[in-house]
Structure 1
Amino acid sequence: MASTAPVDSVPPELSEVEQKQLDAANAERERREQDALPYRWRQTLNDVTVSVPVPPGTRGKQLDVVLRKDSIRVGLKGEPPVIEGTFPKEIKVDDSTWTLDDSREVTISLEKVDQQSWWPHVVTSAPKIDTTKITPENSKLSDLDGETRAMVEKMMYDNQQKQMGKPSSDEQRKAEMLRKFQEQHPEMDFSKAKIG
């Protein structure tokens, strides 16, 4: 006997409690899958860092590390690779590096080409993470280089001034320049001057 349910029926929406339980179960499954990988990884929007353990005492010349724009292979020469596969998105090979740390771990820094999206996995054959659940770390002003920090602080100050109905830093600078010019040239009439 044929089913009477419409083909395009949508599953009923979950209650808030059911959604939280489902999210928790998915997060636990995801954690188990990631813990089972033979490597650890983390990411920012700019890059992906992969840590691959190797036997203590490993030397650089024993390693087989190949980074291409769309794939990776890391392991010991003559043995099956610890990680091998295709990236979900391309990397900048010339800006990506690897190091052997304490003769026991290979750390690979992969510079993303697309720096506006999260990767669901390092290689497409690995289990995916739910990228919609990623909460990026807040940047601190102290993490920024001097020029960027100054620009951000200026933008924050100007926004605060605007909200209070006060002049921005540029407007204050122009008013100060005019004031100094007027002091230096008292013979000039500035009564009809417009600043803007």
Structure 2
Amino acid sequence: MSTQKEYDSMTEEERAVFDAAARKKEEEEQAALPYKWKQTLGDVSVSVEVPKGTRSKDLVVDIKKKSLKVGLKGQTPIIDGVLFKDIKVDDSTWTLDSQKEVNIHLEKYKGTEWWKCVIEGHPEIDTTKVVPENSKLSDLDGETRGMVEKMMFDQRQKAAGKPTSDDLKKAEALKRFQAQHPEMDFSNAKMG
């Protein structure tokens, strides 16, 4: 991999070629894994194919805070290693679908970062290229939602050349103060 400095000095065309080659290599490495995986900021989903007709009693699935083991009883595990980051064991589950695929849901302990891989030592992805799914304001908790709505309002106000919510609060406070102190001259007062 090139250093960031080398990458920054590339032309747009050279970057496109470099990125395409890196993406192709990453896709090949991920396809060679004995499982498929995807993630959101909050969780990781892993699917492992097993022989058709497999029953849950034939499986060994061991989900721990720092490790994951998946396989068929009496055989070498398909996955057995240290997880890239810690998970919340009580919120992580697995299911056997159609007697041929084990689907594992791992709840990230810190739901604010992208994982480079599922198991340490396995091929990594470039997390700077991860495109997150669009989230809805309704998905956010009240405090975060309020903060985001305020930022969006302020951004729209600035774009329209209008005062932001903070500017409006200051103006309202000044108006109240002026009403309480009519004897003072505010004609030369500057906001800003």
For the residues of structure 1 that align with 2:111 and 2:165, how far apart are their CA atoms? 35
Q: Which residue of 2 aligns with 1:14?
A: 10
Specify which of 11, 26, 29 is matched with residue 30 of structure 1.
26
Q: Is the 8 A contact 2:37 2:45 kept in 1?
A: yes
Higher CA-based Rg: 1
Residues paired across the two proteins, number: 168
Q: Is the 8 A contact 2:137 2:145 kept in 1?
A: no
Post-superposition shift, 1:125? 2.3
Post-superposition shift, 1:165? 4.1
Q: Tell me, what secondary structure is at the counterpart of 1:92?
A: strand
* Alpha carbons of structure 1 residues 150 and 74: separation in structure 2 relative to 1, 3 Å: same
Q: Quick check: 1:82 aligned with 2:78?
A: yes
Q: Which residue of 1 aligns with 2:128?
A: 132
For the residues of structure 2 that align with 1:58 and 1:22, how far apart are their CA atoms? 43
Query: Deviation per CA, 1:46-79, whole angstroms, max 9, x where unpaired?
Result: 1100011111121111110001111100011111
* Alpha carbons of structure 1 residues 20 and 95: separation in structure 2 relative to 1, 3 Å: same
Instruction: Structure 1: state its 5+ residue gaps.
Output: 1-9, 172-190
* Alpha carbons of structure 1 residues 146 and 33: separation in structure 2 relative to 1, 3 Å: closer
Q: Quick check: 1:61 aligned with 2:57?
A: yes
Post-superposition shift, 1:160? 6.9
CA RMSD of superposed structures (Å): 3.3
For the residues of structure 1 that align with 2:49 and 2:135, how far apart are their CA atoms? 29
Q: Is the 8 A contact 2:65 2:88 kept in 1?
A: yes
Runs of 4+ aligned residues of structure 1 deviating over 6 Å after TM superposition are 145-150
Instruction: Structure 2: state its 5+ residue gaps.
Output: 170-178, 182-192
Q: Percent identity?
A: 46
* Alpha carbons of structure 1 residues 105 and 152: separation in structure 2 relative to 1, 3 Å: farther
TM-score (norm 2): 0.72
Greater share of residues in strand: 2
Q: Is the 8 A contact 1:161 1:167 kept in 2?
A: no
